Structure 1
């Protein structure tokens, strides 16, 4: 993800996974959240993992409302300014590097928003 972020030349960088199917209207809903510096949403599933993903999504919402970002790199948009102000992804982490990055973005004073209306 960090290599992709460094190669990007846009103001915003959207991170996702190869198996993600963006629902209809996803990209038209996303800009309404761009008043924030970082936007993340839920990852849902259409297969056997549906219940697990739904539970994780619920947990993301609860944690966000408690002030704890629980971002997933499968549905994460970051403004370049915030992304690089905190040094980007920690390449030494083997998991949860997405949530850790968003936590650093929040602690640095940038605005983080959970986009409940933009699941993937």
Structure 2
């Protein structure tokens, strides 16, 4: 059954945040300018002014009580009062007209969930630029995720998240959606800006470890079916090094070496915990 076409006013944006005061104003300004019907900011026990900033923008502010990102998205969607919800990470900015375009594509092609395409930006330091370069050139940019994604609220409540995942919940949800015969996708027409909060090695390291841990958790949950995920960090690292060499940008090779190594460190942690 094809979805009725929602308007931007029919959508509540759900924005999880933890210590995101530098990024949150840009995200919320864009959502307000787009004309969304409501904004729910789910705070993850921030130690900065994230809650105050969200209130200044007129958002409904609730807490995930430190239970993590999947739980934050669940309680945020439950607090929405519209038929459709837009899951938006606080490091995402919707340009003018992008949300309306995403909703049109979502309704016209019978998606259960549709993510906007991502244009990643980072820097000016090495690790921030490297993360952005990886996201712009890696295959994962075509993988369905949750950073800027529209759902019908009742569908999201019915499908739900596995709260045992601290990271990798997007992969886990994608697998369940596809197993149920439901359609997901990444827009080829609508791009949003994806900004990295950090620009140093510590931030990149946290990303690597969390991504690896999510893969390990997937292997634990799905057993033999999940074993293919074990090759992903190596494949991505090798591909990244090859692209760096072929494009005359060898400066990214140390990044991909660190990416591969620390993803596997995280993966082992996810397997044993």
TM-score (norm 2): 0.37
Q: Name whichever structure is richer in helix by fraction.
A: 2
Q: Which of the numbers 87, 107, 118 marks the counterpart of 1:15?
A: 87
1:52 aligns with 2:134: yes
Contact kept, 8 Å, 2:121 with 2:132, in 1: the verdict is yes
Contact kept, 8 Å, 1:12 with 1:79, in 2: the verdict is yes
Aligned partners of 1:10, 1:98: CA distance in 2, in Å? 23
Provide structure 1 residue ranges, at least 5 long, that are not aligned to the other structure: 62-69
Query: The residue matched to 2:96 in structure 1 has which SS?
Result: coil
Q: Deviation per CA, 1:21-41: give whole Å up to 9, x if none.
A: 112221121122223111113
The answer to which structure, 1 or 2, has the higher relative contact order (CA under 8 A, 6+ apart) is 1
Query: The residue matched to 1:45 in structure 2 has which SS?
Result: strand
Q: Which of the pair has more CA radius of gyration?
A: 2
Change (3 A) 1:24 1:114: same
- Residues 3-42 of structure 1 aligned to structure 2 (within 5 Å): 3-32=75-104, 33-34=106-107, 35-42=110-117
- For these two proteins, the number of residue pairs brought into alignment is 110
RMSD across aligned C-alpha pairs, in angstroms?
A: 1.9
Q: Name whichever structure is richer in strand by fraction.
A: 2
Q: Which of the numbers 183, 197, 200 marks the counterpart of 1:111?
A: 183
Report what 1:102 is aligned to.
174
TM superposition shift of 1:50 = 2.6
